[in-house]
Amino acid sequence: MSRSIEDFLEYLEYQKKYSENTVEAYRNDLEGFEQYVHAKKIDYKKMNYSDVTDYMIHLSNSNMKPASVNRHLSSLRSFYSFLLINKEVKDSPFELVNGPKKEKRLPNYLQYDEFLDLIKTCDETNLGVRNRMILELLFASGVRVSELVGIKINDIDFKNREIKILGKGKKTRIVYFNKTCQEVMSKYVCNARQELLKGKHCEYLFVNHLGNALTRRGVSDILEKLIMKSSIKHKISPHTLRHTFATLMLNEGMDIREVQELLGHARLSTTSIYTHVSNEELRRIYLQSHPRAHRKP
């Protein structure tokens, strides 16, 4: 990898304070770009508009979704802005192109009875109690999976049912959990977690069967196994529970700016997609409930 790209990634990590996952996403995008220009024998510091459009066509032809193409474009715009500031290039050719239109897809979320179905798949073993704790906390707080596995015991205020979360961009916020979640947490922390640790010390809330800190991949694997045991047929991920939390809060009348704060969104526009979900749910209920809504004229 070129020195310029390494310098840019270090800039993102140490000066911009981007998360490890975000920096890794930039790295992947830039590695793919570097492989392309190397294969085409293009000097990336002398790229022109034609070179850039050829690269965008290359991305589109590789069966990449519009959202992924736009992410690549955003990564390269940031990289070339960095090169411009450091006077390594005279201009940024990626500022001249537009990405493909994004697919308008509403976030996938669970109905409450589906969530209860997932809960029923958790048994009373130590791992079963931990798995239920994961579900309950994701549902109660709307945290990202990366934030979930980053929770430390010392971050939790058990009395006031609050957790200090370290989110994207190293920003901290407070999230809350309910009494049901508190009861399961007490059972997990005082009993199941202690037995899973097997005498080890771990500062993180969630641990695996070896007593080590649970990873994002571990949470995804756990959810996948629980779904297989349930009656849920459609595809869901850990992030689905975050979508469920946001949709539920808006459906219950919470102000969108309050939901934005709980989710840790930097922009209100990111949160606003859940209002579309709420409106769609409202429409569905109307069509099911109104006596004239489902009759043929």
Q: Which of 72, 130, 144, 193 is catalytic?
A: 144
pLDDT per residue as tens digits for the range 62-82: 888 888 888 888 999 999 999
| Residue for token pair 């539920």 | 248
**Model confidence at 238: pLDDT above 70:** yes
CB-neighbour burial class of residue 281 (10 A; exposed 0-12, middle 13-18, buried 19+): middle
With residues binned 3-state (H G I as helix, E B as strand, rest as coil), the percentages for the chain, rounded to 5, are 60, 5, 30
Q: Which of 71, 77, 168, 216 is catalytic?
A: 168
Predicted confidence at residue 128, as pLDDT, reads: 97
Predicted confidence at residue 293, as pLDDT, reads: 62
Amino acid at residue number 201: H
Q: Whole-angstrom Cα distance, residue 261 to residue 265?
A: 7
Q: Which of 58, 164, 187, 239 is catalytic?
A: 239
Q: What is the DSSP string of 222-233?
A: HHHHHHHHSS--
Predicted confidence at residue 248, as pLDDT, reads: 85
Q: Which of 130, 132, 242, 243 is catalytic?
A: 242
Asked whether the beta carbons of 148 and 219 are under 8 A apart, the reply is yes
Predicted confidence at residue 88, as pLDDT, reads: 92
Residue 49 among the catalytic residues = no
Predicted confidence at residue 284, as pLDDT, reads: 66
pLDDT per residue as tens digits for the range 151-173: 999 999 999 999 999 988 788 99
pLDDT per residue as tens digits for the range 239-283: 899 999 988 888 888 888 898 999 988 888 778 877 766 666 666
- The edge-to-edge listing of strands for the beta sheet with 162-166 is 156-157, 162-166, 172-176
Strand extents, DSSP E, 170-297: 172-176
Domains of the chain: 3-96 (1.10.150.130), 112-288 (1.10.443.10)
Residue 120 among the catalytic residues = no
Residue 168 among the catalytic residues = yes
Q: Which of 44, 55, 188, 274 is catalytic?
A: 274
Helix (H/G/I), strand (E/B), else coil: 91:
coil
